[in-house]
């Protein structure tokens, strides 16, 4: 919650940090670095509230700080005093281990830097706190001056630091370099940790290499948060340690909470979950090619490196023009339809999907529209809760005023004819308001549906303004989320189709029945 919070655009309130700490504790991590008390009011307040409000079951809260300033007694350094007063039983202090950083950034001598490390660790230990030392720029420093980098590690260990954490601060290392360096540093006898940044895309791989070379302490950030390209993704590292290297690092059963916790923290940070994130992304176990589906029908493990349930995720089958009959069959089974014994219907659905995808539809991103299509094929009629007579939308702009739109929707629902006018800041927004206002009069559940995302794509860009348009609409009722697709000669027509599908699917999902019978 310190290094990760340095990500561009990520700003955490004190309450955000308290919520994240509880999630990390549920995951079962050993230590939570809460911030730098004394350096800013927010982190100081966090530690004060954490002492009163946090009841951690698995984790120990750690405070972050730096070694004493050059030429100042440790007991006289106000930031070290703040670390003592933080209430944290563990303190992580950052120390310079690169000779050039000592002489050029700190503007002090190499000997004074070693004294700063020793004095800081000793002072905090005398206050009853456990100490980890983050060796800043260690790998670059080792390559520039091996002997001095090792001296800093020994100084920390001899003063009583529990762990010397080797930091790839600039993120420029590769796994085989990390392995060689960690193996050499391990000869000091000091317990080692790894802190990897992802600037070469190797943060997780470098972390695994360090562990295999002798590191027994691993630092990372949930979802790979961090400045520049981020830190080692904590969830990916933990899953690799447990599932690939056979190490027990979390309480039993906690790993299965990984996906839930990863996504819950994404909600707090307001960073959407990365779909292709290893282990926890929604695409991590998604299969699109028909060849994959044919094999998965025999044994899911043939195209998956683990059982998704181990990390709390699910296998997904994506319906697309690449899908074969096996994909449609498995997707149908997932939705409650048995197509295995009806090859003719299975072939018809497969052909229809391929034809519609050629026309611009996409069902891999619109499961709800595919389910409506499948229900139509299985039941002989498309699910419908209302019949639209007509819709019309007007947009108007007057000098000095923002443009506004007005839509009129006429439909029959539950035996009642309704004509409603809706206003919005654009044509689609106005249509959405009018359609909802009409249907809500018969189906009150619609009031719980909210549009959460709206995406537009021009499919044949060479045609300019008369190109075919595809829209994807994401809707939620506060519990479930579904996506529908529409394709049309213009953006309003495509959006209307997706809007109708969104409300139809939502009503079907809720098992709604007409309040007034036709």
63 forms beta bridges with 35, 91
Q: Are residue 261 and residue 309 in the same domain, yes or no?
A: no
Q: Are residue 298 and residue 355 in the same domain, yes or no?
A: yes
Q: Is 425 exposed, middle or buried (0-12, 13-18, 19+ CB in 10 A)?
A: exposed
- What pLDDT is stored for residue 517 in this prediction? 39
- What pLDDT is stored for residue 296 in this prediction? 55
Residue 22 inside a domain? The answer is yes
pLDDT in tens, 280-307: 987 777 766 555 555 555 566 777 888 8
Residue 278 inside a domain? The answer is no
Element housing 195 (H / E) = strand 192-196
Report pTM: 0.70
| Residue 97, number of CB atoms within 10 A of its CB | 32
Residue 277 inside a domain? The answer is no
Q: Is 18 exposed, middle or buried (0-12, 13-18, 19+ CB in 10 A)?
A: middle
| Residue 213, number of CB atoms within 10 A of its CB | 19
Residues whose CB is less than 8 angstroms from the CB of residue 377 and which lie 6 or more positions away in sequence, other chains included: 345, 348, 349, 352
Name the percent of the chain lying above pLDDT 70.
Answer: 92
User: What value does the CA radius of gyration of the chain take, rounded to a whole number of Å?
Assistant: 29
CA distance 326 to 343: 11
- Phi, psi values for residue 194, rounded to 5°: -130, 135
Q: Are residue 90 and residue 166 in the same domain, yes or no?
A: yes
CATH classification of the domain holding 480: 3.30.160.270
CA distance 8 to 227: 6
State the residue range of the domain holding 456: 386-510
Among 92-96, 134-138, 282-286, 292-296, which stretch is predicted with the lowest mean pLDDT? 292-296
- What pLDDT is stored for residue 494 in this prediction? 92
Q: Which residue has the higher pLDDT, 289 or 26?
A: 26
Q: Are residue 137 and residue 20 in the same domain, yes or no?
A: yes
Please state, rounded to an integer, the average pLDDT across all residues of the chain. Answer: 88
Cβ–Cβ under 8 Å, residues 379 and 417: no
Name the percent of the chain lying above pLDDT 90.
Answer: 59
CA distance 369 to 360: 13
CATH classification of the domain holding 256: 3.20.20.70
Give how far Cα 293 sits from Cα of 301, 323, 327, 463, Å: 11, 8, 5, 36
- What pLDDT is stored for residue 88 in this prediction? 92
- What pLDDT is stored for residue 466 in this prediction? 57
CA distance 179 to 415: 73
Cβ–Cβ under 8 Å, residues 336 and 306: no
Give how far Cα 97 sits from Cα of 101, 165, 260, Å: 8, 11, 38
Total residues belonging to the chain: 518
Q: Are residue 196 and residue 62 in the same domain, yes or no?
A: yes
DSSP structure class, residue 69:
P
Cβ–Cβ under 8 Å, residues 187 and 213: no
Q: What is the mean pLDDT of residues 157-181?
A: 97
Q: Are residue 320 and residue 399 in the same domain, yes or no?
A: no
Closest CA to 153 of 143, 166, 144, 140: 166
Residue 110 inside a domain? The answer is yes
Question: What is the sign of the dihedral through the CA atoms of 62, 63, 69 and 75?
Answer: negative
- Phi, psi values for residue 32, rounded to 5°: -120, 115
Q: Are residue 159 and residue 248 in the same domain, yes or no?
A: yes
DSSP structure class, residue 39:
T
Among 152-166, 372-386, 403-417, which stretch is predicted with the lowest mean pLDDT? 372-386
Q: Are residue 106 and residue 240 in the same domain, yes or no?
A: yes
Question: What is the sign of the dihedral through the CA atoms of 245, 251, 256 and 262?
Answer: negative
Task: Give the end of a domain, one of 244, 269, 294.
Answer: 269
Pairing of strands 416-424, 404-413: antiparallel
Residue 124 inside a domain? The answer is yes
Cβ–Cβ under 8 Å, residues 324 and 317: no
pLDDT over 50 (residue 127): yes
pLDDT in tens, 408-426: 999 999 888 999 999 988 8
Closest CA to 61 of 93, 94, 21: 21
Q: Are residue 413 and residue 292 in the same domain, yes or no?
A: no
- Phi, psi values for residue 163, rounded to 5°: -140, 140
Strands in 38-160 per DSSP E: 60-66, 90-96, 130-136
Residue 376 inside a domain? The answer is no
Task: Give the end of a domain, one of 269, 298, 321.
Answer: 269
Residue 276 inside a domain? The answer is no
Residue 280 inside a domain? The answer is no
Task: Give the end of a domain, one of 269, 303, 334.
Answer: 269
Q: What is the number of structural domains in the chain?
A: 3
DSSP codes joined into one string, 448-462? G-EEEEEEEEES-GG
Q: Are residue 317 and residue 460 in the same domain, yes or no?
A: no
Q: Which residue has the higher pLDDT, 466 or 29?
A: 29
Q: Are residue 96 and residue 165 in the same domain, yes or no?
A: yes
Q: Are residue 349 and residue 219 in the same domain, yes or no?
A: no
pLDDT in tens, 105-123: 999 999 999 999 999 999 9
Q: What is the mean pLDDT of residues 65-85?
A: 94
């Amino acid at each position: 919650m310190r290094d990760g919070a340095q990500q561009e655009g990520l700003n955490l309130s004190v309450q955000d940090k308290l919520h994240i700490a509880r999630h990390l504790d549920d995951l079962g991590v050993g230590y939570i670095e809460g911030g730098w008390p004394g350096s800013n009011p927010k982190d100081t307040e966090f530690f004060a509230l954490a002492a009163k409000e946090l009841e951690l079951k698995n984790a120990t809260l750690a405070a972050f700080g730096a070694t004493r300033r050059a030429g100042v007694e440790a007991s006289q350094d106000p930031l070290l005093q703040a670390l003592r007063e933080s209430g944290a039983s563990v303190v992580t202090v950052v120390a310079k281990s690169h000779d050039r950083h000592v002489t050029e950034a700190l503007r002090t001598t190499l000997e004074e830097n070693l004294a700063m490390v020793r004095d800081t660790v000793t002072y905090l230990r005398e206050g009853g706190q456990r100490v980890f030392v983050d060796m800043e720029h260690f790998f670059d420093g080792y390559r520039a001056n091996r002997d001095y980098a090792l001296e800093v590690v020994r100084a920390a260990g001899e003063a009583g630091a529990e762990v010397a954490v080797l930091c790839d601060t600039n993120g420029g290392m590769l796994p085989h370099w990390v392995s060689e360096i960690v193996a050499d540093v391990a000869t000091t006898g000091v317990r080692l940790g790894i802190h990897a940044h992802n600037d070469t895309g190797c943060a997780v791989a470098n972390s695994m290499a360090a562990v295999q070379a002798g590191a027994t302490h691993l630092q990372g950030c949930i979802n790979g948060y961090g400045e520049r390209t981020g830190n080692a993704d904590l969830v990916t590292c933990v899953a690799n340690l447990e599932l690939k290297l056979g190490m027990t690092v979390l309480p039993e059963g906690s790993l299965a909470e990984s996906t839930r916790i990863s996504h819950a923290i994404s909600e707090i940070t307001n960073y959407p979950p990365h779909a292709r994130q290893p282990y926890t992304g929604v695409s991590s176990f998604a299969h699109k090619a028909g060849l994959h589906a044919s094999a998965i029908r025999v044994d899911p493990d043939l195209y998956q490196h683990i059982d998704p349930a181990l990390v709390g995720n699910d296998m997904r089958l994506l319906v697309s023009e690449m899908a074969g009959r096996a994909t449609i069959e498995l997707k149908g089974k997932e939705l409650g339809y048995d197509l295995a014994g009806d090859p003719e219907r299975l072939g018809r659905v497969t052909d229809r999907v391929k034809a519609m995808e050629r026309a611009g539809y996409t069902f891999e991103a619109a499961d709800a529209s595919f389910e409506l299509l499948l229900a139509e094929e299985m039941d002989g009629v498309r699910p419908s809760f209302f019949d639209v007579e007509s819709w019309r939308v007007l947009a108007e702009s007057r000098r000095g005023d923002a443009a506004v739109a007005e839509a009129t929707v006429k439909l029959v629902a539950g035996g009642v004819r309704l004509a409603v006018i809706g206003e919005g800041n654009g044509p689609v927004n106005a249509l959405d308001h009018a359609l909802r206002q009409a249907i809500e009069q018969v189906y009150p559940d619609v009031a719980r549906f909210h549009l959460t995302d709206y995406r537009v794509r021009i499919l044949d860009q060479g045609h300019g303004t008369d190109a075919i348009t595809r829209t994807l609409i994401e809707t939620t009722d506060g519990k479930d989320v579904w996506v529908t697709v529409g394709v049309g000669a213009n953006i309003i027509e495509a959006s209307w189709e997706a809007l109708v599908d969104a409300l139809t699917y939502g009503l079907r999902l809720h098992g709604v029945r007409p309040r007034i019978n036709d």
